[in-house]
Amino acid sequence: MVPARRKTPVPVEEAVRPRGSNGVVTHRPVHVELGLSPERMLEMFEVMLLARIIDERQWILNRQGREAFHISCQGHEGSGVGSAFALDLGRDVMVPYYRSLAAVLAFGVTPLEAFLSALARADDPMSGGRQMPAHYGLARARILTSGSSVATQIPHATGAALASKIRGDGGVSIVYFGDGASSKGDFHEGLNFAAIHKLPAIFVCENNHYAISVPASKQMAVRSVADRAVGYGMFGASVDGTDPLAVYRSVKEAADRARAGEGPTLIESNVVRLTPHSSDDDDRRYRPESEREEDRQKDPVHVFGEYLRTHNLLTTAAEAALRRRIQKTVAEALVQAEAAAAPLAETAFDHVYAGLRVPDFRAAREH
């Protein structure tokens, strides 16, 4: 039997709708309420779509044997983009995890950079080909380097927020992690420290309800990760993470509180995992088809596209044109990345320490 999943996010209080002079409620669209212009809305959609198309391409590369490993962002795009768009790219710090493709694209990673990294080329700006795909980090974009250990990045966001507070630079640090990470000590120690010192940090748990095969019901006894916020004395919210506008609203409020010195926020962003855990996993072993189909109905890219069409922000023709444009950008980026050189073997000995190459024993192979 498959354990029951928690389907319904804890409802977010709906914003009070303004009333006209005759007392009749005027149903302003959410994006208008949030102050998001049509152009900004289309930018959000474009990044979500870009993330999806890059991600789909990476699955193909993996199945063709051109990318040894892939771990997907599919289903997390609304959460990543909604949150990143609520921040200030000029001063805020992002601490990503392996499902943060959409978030890092929104923060300034280019499609070419994404592929150079996925294909482990010399010019991969994340790691120079040292790390597996989806280990994001880009100094230029204020995205901290990330490893594979689950949850270790959470206290890093606390530390980055501490640095912002000490310098008084007005920066906020946002960190992403999954539901599995909420079980680790790093989560507790990172959140507790941030709450005590009222640090400008935003902790976003992208709860896709599975840690590989283990369902959220076996990960926690609380109904929502956000319930834990009260235990740390910080603000908590649980939102529909497939809706970029719900995530935008929640992160914007959290960032405003953080900048006002009111401390950190824990946000549970309820997303869907539209793929197996990784390219080495087969989720049919532990998820029934009905449940996976249900998730597909909540695909954030489709749902947001529907919102844009409903509010006349996007026509079917314009969407088709946008898709063609992104497909072209992605195809070109991939061609360029594939043509790029692999890292030179001797670079493997660099950057263990600053300004010091570790000894290279390869000379011995020649004798």
Task: Kindly tell me which residue out of 230, 260, 321, 358 binds other proteins, with binding defined by CB under 8 A.
Answer: 358
- Rank residues 89 and 321 by Cβ distance to other proteins and give the closer one: 89
* Residues 227/164, Cβ–Cβ less than 8 Å: no
Strands 265-270 and 201-207, sheet pairing: parallel
Do residues 176 and 206 make contact, with C-beta atoms less than 8 angstroms apart?
yes
* Cβ at position 47, least distance to other proteins in Å: 23
Residue 188 designated active-site: no
Please say which residue, 62 or 158, places its beta carbon nearer to other proteins.
158
Binder among 352, 361, 364, 366 for other proteins (CB under 8 A): 352
Binding mask 130-169 for other proteins (x = CB under 8 A): xx---x-xxx----xx-x-x--x-xxxxxxxxxxxxxx--
Smallest distance from other proteins to CB 217, Å: 26
Active-site residue, 286 included = yes
Nearest to 211 by CA among 238, 181, 188, 241: 181
Beta bridge partners of 205: 177, 268
User: How many CB atoms within 10 Å of residue 66?
Assistant: 13
Nearer to other proteins, 195 or 326 (CB): 195
Nearer to other proteins, 201 or 308 (CB): 201
Exposure string over 293-327, b if 16+ CB within 10 A, otherwise e:
eebeebbbbeebbebbeeeebbeeeebeebeeebe
Given the residues 135, 228, 277, 287, the one annotated as active site: 277
Catalytic status, residue 273 = yes
Stretch of 68-76, 105-113, 206-214, 352-360 contacting other proteins, by CB under 8 A = 352-360
| Gap between the Cα atoms of 34 and 42, Å rounded | 15
Neighbours of 284 (CB within 10 A): 10
- Of 286, 309, 311, 351, which one is the catalytic site residue? 286
Complex with other proteins: residue 297 or 347, whichever CB lies closer: 347
* Number of CB atoms found within 10 A of residue 23's CB: 6
**Structure-token pair, residue 73:** 């962002």
Give the DSSP H or E segment for 153.
Answer: helix 153-167
247 binds other proteins (CB under 8 A): no
Q: Which residues bind other proteins (CB under 8 A)?
A: 93, 95, 124-131, 135, 137-139, 144-145, 147, 149, 152, 154-167, 171, 173, 185-186, 188-190, 192-193, 196-197, 350-354, 356, 358
What amino acid positions are annotated as catalytic residues?
273, 277, 286
